[in-house]
């Protein structure tokens, strides 16, 4: 683990198999440090011995947060077993393999090694965006990679999410690069750029994004916020997902709730009132832009050893949509997850907001989206076909306005605000 403000990692503890589960205990040397912090106190408090797992869990959630998700696992299966195409979907490696084989420059402040005394980071060879796009296409087609491309793609295997991505290091910044895929039936990369840029314009705390091109395909660069440069050194910031904060695992993710997350914010976060307003605003924007993939791994917080702080928003990506009715990935109000503004307003008190304050947030976002839509499409150089396809389907879908609460100033023809 990289402790706060540290330039180098220290051994924090041991993760080992106990039957089908992975159990963790802190090292004696770590517990003896005056600057030691728990990996995440509600789950792994600083104490000797193996720390019991919650019933039904296979490993600690804050450690699972640092493990690869769909894309990273697919790359590791390809490079480890040579499985390709549909065959790769039938293969699963064990969690220790995923942790030990994925890149060391993972999100957050953890890494995993076989040795307790020697740290040997699994570093990737730097490659151009063109080379990385080529590697992504070969992985999709099940074509073996050259050693150089294989090593370059390793840099993104520790990342979450299902879409192809890799880490890019610059002199002054670090980025996550997200690539187009052969299965995209519309410009997903530019749609995410639009959503992220509009989110910033409505006033959300959002990771900065840029658009690039490789082999005639668009690439989205998302600036990393878990790395902080101080002088010539880069410090890592510890993070936990909302899934871990909610004490849920992948099998229970469908029970994740915005209201429960708001309750955790009230008790464990710094600047709770401001954070609640930010979370409510993100929920509203997710509905207005058609991002129904707002699951609990797409929300996260920095962890300083004592309190939590909401990270900038990321992975705000409008999802494919052929009809109107839609649901958010997390419950919004009680058992209701309907992608509607009315559902948000009904839950406003959970965020310490009055109904009027919730309506004001909605009105402000609608005004900005209406006024900034065309200029932001121009930023993305989005063609007329894609603009027409995204507008009122993903962005401002009419379903969001069903049962519209009084006070929201919106003309349902979508032409004026």
Query: In 10 A of CB 3, how many CB atoms?
Result: 20
- Whether 45 maps to a domain, the answer reads yes
- Whether 379 maps to a domain, the answer reads yes
- Whether 336 maps to a domain, the answer reads yes
Q: pTM of the full predicted structure? A: 0.89
Q: Would you write out the chain's pLDDT as a tens digit for each of its 417 residues?
A: 999 999 999 999 999 999 889 999 999 999 999 999 999 999 999 999 999 998 889 999 999 999 887 766 777 776 667 655 445 555 678 889 889 988 888 899 999 999 999 999 987 656 666 666 666 666 666 655 555 555 545 554 555 555 677 778 776 889 988 888 767 778 899 999 999 999 999 999 999 999 998 767 889 999 999 999 888 888 999 999 999 999 999 889 999 999 999 999 999 999 999 999 999 999 999 999 999 999 999 999 999 999 999 999 999 999 988 778 999 999 999 999 999 999 999 999 999 999 999 999 999 999 999 999 999 999 999 999 999 999 999 999 999 999 988 899 876 554 444
Same domain, 264 and 389: yes
Same domain, 256 and 395: yes
Find where tokens 């990506």 sit.
317
- Whether 191 maps to a domain, the answer reads no
Same domain, 112 and 260: no
Domain boundaries, position 266: 236-401
Same domain, 255 and 397: yes
Rounded to 5 degrees, what angle do the CA atoms 389, 390, 391 make? 100
Q: What are phi and psi of 8, to 5 degrees?
A: -140, 155
User: Encoding tokens for residue 392?
Assistant: 């009122």
- Whether 185 maps to a domain, the answer reads no
- Whether 293 maps to a domain, the answer reads yes
203 closest CA partner among 316, 290, 293, 281: 281
* Total domains in the fold of the chain: 2
CATH number of the CATH domain containing 274? 1.10.1070.20
- Whether 372 maps to a domain, the answer reads yes
Query: In 10 A of CB 16, how many CB atoms?
Result: 12
- Whether 287 maps to a domain, the answer reads yes
Same domain, 106 and 247: no
């Amino acid at each position: 683990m990289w402790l706060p403000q540290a330039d180098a990692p220290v051994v924090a503890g041991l993760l080992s198999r106990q039957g089908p589960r992975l159990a963790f205990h802190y090292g004696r040397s770590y517990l003896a440090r005056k600057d030691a912090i728990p990996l995440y106190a509600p789950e792994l408090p600083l104490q000797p011995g193996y720390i019991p797992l919650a019933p039904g869990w296979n490993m600690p959630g804050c450690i699972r947060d640092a493990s690869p998700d769909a894309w990273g696992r697919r790359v590791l299966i390809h490079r480890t077993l040579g499985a390709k195409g549909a065959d790769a979907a039938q293969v699963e490696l064990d969690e220790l393999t995923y942790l030990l084989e994925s890149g060391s420059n993972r999100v957050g402040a953890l890494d995993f090694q076989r040795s307790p005394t020697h740290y040997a980071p699994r570093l990737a060879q730097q490659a151009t965006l063109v080379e990385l796009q080529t590697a992504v296409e070969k992985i999709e087609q099940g074509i073996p990679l050259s050693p150089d491309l294989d090593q370059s793609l390793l840099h993104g295997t520790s990342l979450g999410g299902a879409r192809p991505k890799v880490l890019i290091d610059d002199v002054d910044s670090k980025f996550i690069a997200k690539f187009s895929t052969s299965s995209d039936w519309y410009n997903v990369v530019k749609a995410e750029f639009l959503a992220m840029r509009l989110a910033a314009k409505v006033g959300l705390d959002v990771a900065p994004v840029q658009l690039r091109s490789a082999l005639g395909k668009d690439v989205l660069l998302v600036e990393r916020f878990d790395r902080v440069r101080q002088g010539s050194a880069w410090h890592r910031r510890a993070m936990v997902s909302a899934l871990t904060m909610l004490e849920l695992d992948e099998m229970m993710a469908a029970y994740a709730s915005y209201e429960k997350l708001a309750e955790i914010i009230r008790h464990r976060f710094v600047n709770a009132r401001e954070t609640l307003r930010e979370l409510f605003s993100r929920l509203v924007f997710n509905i207005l832009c058609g991002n129904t993939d707002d699951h609990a791994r797409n929300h996260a917080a920095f962890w300083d050893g004592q309190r939590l702080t909401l990270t900038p928003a990321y992975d705000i990506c409008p999802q494919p949509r052929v009809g109107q009715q839609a649901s958010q990935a997390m419950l919004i109000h009680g058992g209701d997850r309907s992608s509607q503004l009315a559902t948000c307003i009904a839950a406003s008190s959970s965020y310490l907001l009055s109904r009027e304050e919730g309506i004001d947030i909605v009105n402000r976002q609608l005004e900005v989206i209406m006024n900034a839509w065309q200029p932001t499409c121009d930023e993305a150089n989005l063609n007329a076909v894609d603009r027409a396809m995204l507008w009122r389907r993903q962005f401002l879908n009419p379903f969001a306005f069903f049962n519209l609460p009084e006070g929201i100033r919106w003309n349902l023809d979508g032409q004026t605000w």
